[in-house]
Structure 1
Amino acid sequence: MRSHQRQIAACLMAASFFLGSPLPAHAHPHVFVSATMTVSATPEGDLLAVHNSWWMDELFSSSVVVDFDENANGRLDPEELSAVGKQVGTSIKEWSYYTFVRQGAGDVALAAPAALDVVFDAKRGQLQFSFQMKPEKPLRLKGQTTTFSNFDDTYFVAFDFAETGAFVTKDLPSGCKSGESAPSPDEAAKSWMATIAGLGPGDTVPEDGIKFSEVLSTKFTLDCSKD
């Protein structure tokens, strides 16, 4: 009975991830991602692309195999992997593909990826999603400070950049320096509470809330402000 309940729970998690179900905000994540990010630049010093690589946790991956193994052969064939990529791409579009680039106080608009490439590593028992996003308009890196992050507003999906070399840069303008900020949960909670406390008497909490998941997220910074 407990095993059956776990299978149902896993399928519900997968469905919410794929279909963008309007689930309420969660106090803790239910899907875990081991992520890497690669940022590349053009010869002119503009942002060329952000490339994400996500290894999904084993529980989530196994639920996807169950849901998408149409021919019941116990694995995901190329056509089935393609179907997974299309379904997930449709779902996470609503959440900006969990990929955020910022300069100053503004978000940078990124074009939707052409496709999500999906592989299943049977030895690891995990799915890997990889895809590339480009800015909708030319974005100058040279002379600017730019931040990059993956996070889920609802905190249903948690992104971990614990691997060595999780943030890679290619062809950056000379003089650019990269940095990483990964607050602990305690530090994030203090920052979140400070944001709440900083609201004035006439201020209201933004309609989309003050996102603990964003505060907790790992942020990569490219400082190209100096030649």
Structure 2
Amino acid sequence: MSCVAGIFSILAAPALAHPHIFAQARLEVETAADGTIVELRNVWRFDEVFSASVVMDYDTNRNLTLEPEELAEVGAIVRDSLADFNYYTTLIDNGADLAVKRPAQIHADYQDGQLLLIFAVEPERTLALDGTVSVGVYDPTMYAAIDFATDADLVVTGAAADRCATRIVRPDPDQVIAENQDSLTEAFYETDGANDLSKLFATRIEFTCG
């Protein structure tokens, strides 16, 4: 099994593992004039160590970079592998989890020694900006740390961008652990609730709509 397929399918990653992969992210939440969220646009830039391991696996012509056809293979593998993890998207509509549709394509690029993944996903059903809505990105196994360097890397765009009050939530890990110690301890041994618990750590945009 290749590095990309193995890591992104998270076959060997334990629940609540210490992160082994690091990525800087940007998220754009695109809205429509009818007051709905229509698309979530992602850019993930991975650390040099992980990026180098991808080059080792997919640099078939051994020129120490990734050509377009090699990058296309990486993107296709990630598109398949992350389907079971909702493409690392946490989307909560007034307390209810909402899945996203499979992206048409995940575009992979390689710049300055780092792998980039660029893709957009849509909510599985119509998502109105009404009440409280939360949008974030996280790895439910916590094997990969996908972080936003600044609040400006999480933005709302489109015709309904000003419809709701928004805030960026950056949970304090120590506080989350202190407030949920019993549940987190159980999650090390029971995988069923691990995905829900990891949302407590996710950096996200919260919409409050009147």
TM-score, normalization by structure 1: 0.82
- Shifted more, 61-70 versus 177-186: the winner is 177-186
Check if 1:207 corresponds to 2:185. Answer: no
Alpha-carbon distance in 1 for matches of 2:195, 2:78: 26
Q: How does 1:10-49 map to 2 (within 5 A)?
A: 14-25=4-15, 27-49=17-39
User: Which residue identity is paired with 2:24?
Assistant: S
Number of matched residues? 205
Matched residue, 1:128:
116
User: Which residue identity is paired with 1:148?
Assistant: V
For the aligned residues, what is the CA RMSD? 2.3
Give the superposition deviation at 1:211: 4.8
Give the superposition deviation at 1:145: 1.7
Q: 1:211 to 1:16 in 2, by over 3 A?
A: farther
Q: 1:23 to 1:206 in 2, by over 3 A?
A: closer
Task: Pick from 85, 93, 101 the counterpart of residue 91 of structure 2.
Answer: 101
Unaligned runs of 5+ in 2: none
Task: Pick from 51, 63, 82 the counterpart of residue 73 of structure 1.
Answer: 63
Matched residue, 1:216:
201
The structure in which a higher percent of residues are strand is: 2
Q: How does 1:146-157 map to 2 (within 5 A)?
A: 146-157=133-144
For residues 37-85 of structure 1, give each alpha carbon's deviation from its aligned partner in whole angstroms, at most 9, with x where no partner exists.
Answer: 0001111111110111101111000000010011111110000000000
Alpha-carbon distance in 2 for matches of 1:214, 1:170: 24
Alpha-carbon distance in 2 for matches of 1:166, 1:77: 28
User: Which residue identity is paired with 2:22?
Assistant: F
User: Which residue identity is paired with 1:107?
Assistant: D
Matched residue, 2:80:
90
- Shifted more, 164-173 versus 58-67: the winner is 164-173
Structure ID, larger Rg: 1
